Amino acid sequence: MNLAAGILIALLASQSGQKPEWCRALPRPEYRKLERVDVPDKWFEVYRIRPGLFAIYEPHQQEEIISYLIVGQKQALLFDTGMGISNIKKMVEGLTQLPVSVMNSHTHNDHVSDNWRFSRIYGMDTPFTREHAKGSVAAAQEEIGPDAICGELPAGFDAKSYAVKPFHITDWIHGGEKVDLGGHVLEVISTPGHTPDSISLWDAHDRLLFTGDMYYPGPIFLFRPETDLDAYEVSIKKMISMRAQLLLTAHNIAVGDPADLPRVLAAMKQVRSGKIKPVKAEHWSEYKFQGFSFLLKK
């Protein structure tokens, strides 16, 4: 195709309101197998994974972020608060009347943007976490560019003032803590690598491992300065050793197969030994494997 024809097609696509590339394949077929819970706020899609365990998916923004609500007999824990584009606190209050605390898989903007609404927040005791709790305008604004949104933004959303608002960490954690929700105990596993403050959450009773951004099916972002690939390998080994029955991941598809983790470790070793050729893009080199890829520094 010549350049003029290409420009014309792009123009027609934008005029016809054609969807951005990333969301043309949505909804993802994996969600058909999950039990959908009807919620009034259409920004969110909620799925009941087990009794008392909800995946909260935001499919209208490119991150396709997934936060998790885990409900015990006495209290509930919200593992990440998502984009802050709609009000996750209000939505969660429709799922449980118990007090809800927040814990983050790590403090990248797409996981913490509604933290500010909550009064009890667990945070890893790292300088990275302290810095990110100050919030950011730029990180949020990058998430609402013309190709990042698919479908309707919530009524009342104000793009101009959209920011990661500062939040206050009330409970500093270091890894190893156990949080008892009443009949449901969760253990904090320190799994640095993607960021220094990355954690996984372990439900020993049901053998569930919440992986945050350490692993999800899709391109895994490992090119930022805060990423440490030595730590990443050590943490993936630790996650393999948990022998989980199910992974709950933070982007794209809520449920993941624990058998992916040894493949991730082997793939990372291959990449780091220089055996795999990447596809180079503007900001990263992509190393592709079946079901996931690594985006690394060029």
Evaluate the CA torsion angle 85, 88, 90, 94 in order and state its sign: positive
The gap between the terminal CA atoms of the chain, to the nearest Å, is 30
**Start-end of H helices in 16-156:** 88-93, 109-112, 127-132, 138-141
Using the contact rule CB under 5 A, the part of the chain among 100-108, 183-191, 222-230, 289-297 near Zn ion is: 100-108
The partner residues of 44 in beta bridges, in order of sequence, read none
CB of 16 to Zn ion, least distance (A): 34
**Which residue's entry shows tokens 């030994």?**
273
List of residues 6+ apart from 240 with CB closer than 8 A: 258, 261, 262, 265
| CA dihedral (99, 105, 111, 115) positive or negative | positive
Residue 108 or 132 with smaller CB distance to Zn ion: 108
Answer whether 199's CB lies under 8 Å from 210's CB: no
Spatial strand order of the sheet with 53-57 comes to 35-37, 45-50, 53-57, 66-71, 76-79, 100-103, 121-124, 171-173
Name residues contacting Zn ion, limited to 31-60 (CB under 5 A).
none
CB closer to Zn ion, 112 vs 181: 112
263, exposed or middle or buried, with CB in 10 Å at 0-12, 13-18, 19+?
Answer: middle
Closer residue to Zn ion, CB minimum distance, 179 or 199: 199
Minimum distance from residue 105 beta carbon to Zn ion (Å): 8
Of the two residues 64 and 213, which places its CB atom closer to Zn ion in the complex?
Answer: 213
In the bound complex, what is the minimum distance in angstroms from residue 110's beta carbon to Zn ion? 7
Stretch that binds Zn ion, among 5-13, 70-78, 104-112, 144-152 (CB under 5 A): 104-112
CB of 122 to Zn ion, least distance (A): 17
108 contacts Zn ion (rule: CB under 5 A)? yes
Least Cβ distance, residue 86 to Zn ion (angstroms): 20
| Of 27-35, 65-73, 105-113, 199-207: span binding Zn ion (CB under 5 A) | 105-113
- Residue 123 CB, nearest approach to Zn ion (Å): 15
Tell me whether residue 143 or residue 213 sits nearer to Zn ion (CB atom): 213
Between 229-241 and 260-272, two packed helices, what is the crossing angle to 10 degrees? 160
Residue carrying structure tokens 């909550």: 118
* Residue 53: Cβ within 10 Å count: 20
Nearer to Zn ion, 114 or 213 (CB): 213
> What is the number of the residue whose Cβ is closest to Zn ion?
108
Measured from the CB atom, the residue of 52 and 212 that comes closer to Zn ion is 212
- Give least dist CB 198 to Zn ion, A: 8
Identify which range of 25-33, 108-116, 201-209, 265-273 contacts Zn ion by CB under 5 A.
108-116
Q: Which x/- pattern over 207-226 shows residues binding Zn ion (rule: CB under 5 A)?
A: ------x-------------
35 in helix, strand or coil? strand
What are the residues binding Zn ion (CB under 5 A)?
A: 108, 213
